[in-house]
Amino acid sequence: ETGVTQTPRHLVMGMTNKKSLKCEQHLGHNAMYWYKQSAKKPLELMFVYNFKEQTENNSVPSRFSPECPNSSHLFLHLHTLQPEDSALYLCASRMKPGQGLAGANVLTFGAGSRLTVL
């Protein structure tokens, strides 16, 4: 266990379904992220939350909706997805950069949620 827990690990959904991915971290980090990993592509940053405030949205379609109720929990709500959205969705956390802490830039990833959209 890395200290970042993602559920569910696997999800199959139809294009009309609504589902949510959950991420929880127990590392005391104050920044959380959603990444998308597709085959043969680099990790794509989707959303960033610092101190539970969204600070970045990398032009992600509105069918993906993040929610960060506190600095330990992060959700990704999914609605009317497309088959090309099938991918591994990785949650990560770290300490906010710039605080002079060793390892502040180091990301810790969860095991990922593998999503298949039919």
Partner 1 sequence: RKEVEQDPGPFNVPEGATVAFNCTYSNSASQSFFWYRQDCRKEPKLLMSVYSSGNEDGRFTAQLNRASQYISLLIRDSKLSDSATYLCVVSSGGGADGLTFGKGTHLIIQP
Residue span binding partner 1 (CB under 8 A) among the ranges 12-20, 37-45, 63-71, 79-87: 37-45
Binding window for partner 1 (CB under 8 A); candidates: 21-29, 43-51, 61-69, 79-87:
43-51
Select from 5, 20, 50, 72 the one that contacts partner 1 (CB under 8 A).
50
Applying CB under 8 A, among 18, 56, 70, 101 the residue interacting with partner 1 is: 56
Can you tell me whether residue 84 is helix, strand or coil?
helix
| Three-state DSSP state, 34 | strand
17 backbone dihedrals φ, ψ, rounded to 5°: -75, 160
Amino acid type, 10: H
Distance CA 109, CA 21 (A): 14
> Site size for partner 1, by CB under 8 A?
25
Q: How far apart are CA 81 and CA 13, in angstroms?
A: 9
- Where helices occur in the chain by DSSP H, the ranges are none
Q: Which is nearer to partner 1, 81 or 90 (CB)?
A: 90
Which residues of the chain form contacts with partner 1 (CB under 8 A)?
Answer: 2, 31, 33, 40-43, 45, 48, 50, 55-56, 90, 96-97, 103, 105-112, 114
